[in-house]
């Protein structure tokens, strides 16, 4: 396939960015979207130009780093598919493809298609963990019984890869789907109960501090999430927050 790519180029955080047009030829339909960008970068390097900076790591839908708008849609046209798992067979010969970084105040552009998503790390550091003693004997896996239904729901919430597509899809740039998945995966397990109150309050406070917008339940996040994280997580986090607000503080 021969394609025209319109790519956001921005030299640095303070530089003014613009869309730049590139032609790529002989792209195999079996290439992944990132492999197609590799071809573009080889072409740019061979011509002595600056390659396009873009984030990637696992290239198998696990790490959440390959975050791009493709034709205005987070992670591109295929449902529940990350950019690295998207194949060029989803496009046609002669297509023009627009490629941009996430657009959100809390995800500032570092260079080209790379954004700073450390705001998500700080939300996690504020409460997305359980404090356990990891030295000494390992507990038997079944020492604390967990109902199967809860284990399954916690697992579903834990599949969030922290990519930020939910923020990118939201007109308010809200991080509620991400934060609620992280709150839920622990709220559903007995191990998460001890710190439940502080967790939800701290994570919501950090989310606001980072400059993410408020949730108005438009549901765009759920539609674009590559891992199918459901809005039910947001409802659960709101319940957790209310419960925390009504329970006596320490």
d(CA 48, CA 238): 52
Direct distance between the N- and C-terminal alpha carbons of the chain, in angstroms, rounded to an integer: 63
165 binds ligand SF4 per the rule CB under 6 A: yes
Comparing CB distances to ligand SF4, the nearer of 113 and 161 is: 161
Contacts of 44 (CB under 8 A, 6+ apart): 22, 50, 51, 52
229 binds ligand SF4 per the rule CB under 6 A: yes
The backbone torsions φ and ψ at residue 114, rounded to the nearest 5 degrees and listed phi first, read: -95, 125
Helical ranges in the chain per DSSP H = 33-46, 118-125, 148-158, 165-169, 176-187, 196-209, 220-224, 232-246
**76 interface partner picked from ligand SF4, ligand FES, none, CB below 5 to 8 A per type:** none
**82 interface partner picked from ligand SF4, ligand FES, none, CB below 5 to 8 A per type:** ligand FES
Among 160, 173, 176, 189, binds ligand SF4 (CB under 6 A): 160
Among 227, 230, 237, 240, binds ligand SF4 (CB under 6 A): 227
Total of residues contacting ligand SF4 (CB under 6 A): 15
Residues that bind ligand FES (CB under 6 A): 56-59, 61-66, 82-84, 161
**57 interface partner picked from ligand FES, ligand SF4, none, CB below 5 to 8 A per type:** ligand FES
CB 229 within 8 A of CB 222: yes
Under rule CB under 6 A, which residues in 12-71 are in contact with ligand SF4?
64
């Amino acid at each position: 396939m021969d394609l025209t790519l319109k790519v956001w180029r921005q030299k640095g955080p303070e530089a003014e960015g613009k869309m730049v047009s590139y032609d790529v030829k002989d792209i195999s339909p079996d290439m992944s979207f990132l492999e197609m960008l590799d071809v573009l970068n080889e072409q740019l390097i061979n011509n002595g130009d600056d390659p396009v900076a873009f984030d990637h790591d696992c290239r198998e839908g696990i790490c959440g780093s390959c975050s791009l708008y493709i034709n205005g849609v987070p992670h591109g046209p295929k449902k529940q598919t990350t950019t690295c798992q998207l194949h060029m067979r989803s496009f046609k010969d002669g297509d023009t493809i627009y490629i941009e970084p996430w657009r959100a105040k809390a995800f500032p552009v570092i260079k080209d298609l790379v954004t700073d998503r450390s705001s998500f790390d700080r939300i996690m550091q504020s409460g997305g963990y359980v404090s356990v003693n990891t030295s000494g004997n390992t507990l038997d896996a079944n020492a604390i019984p967990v109902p199967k239904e809860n284990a399954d729901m916690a697992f579903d919430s834990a599949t969030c890869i922290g990519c930020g597509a939910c923020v990118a899809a939201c007109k308010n740039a809200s991080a509620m789907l991400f934060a609620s998945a992280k709150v839920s995966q622990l709220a559903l397990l007995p191990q998460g109960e001890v710190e439940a109150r502080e967790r939800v309050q701290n994570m919501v406070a950090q989310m606001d501090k980072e400059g993410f917008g408020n949730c108005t339940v438009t549901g765009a996040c759920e539609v674009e999430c590559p891992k199918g994280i459901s809005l039910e997580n947001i409802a659960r986090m709101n319940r957790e927050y209310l419960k925390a607000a009504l329970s006596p503080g320490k």
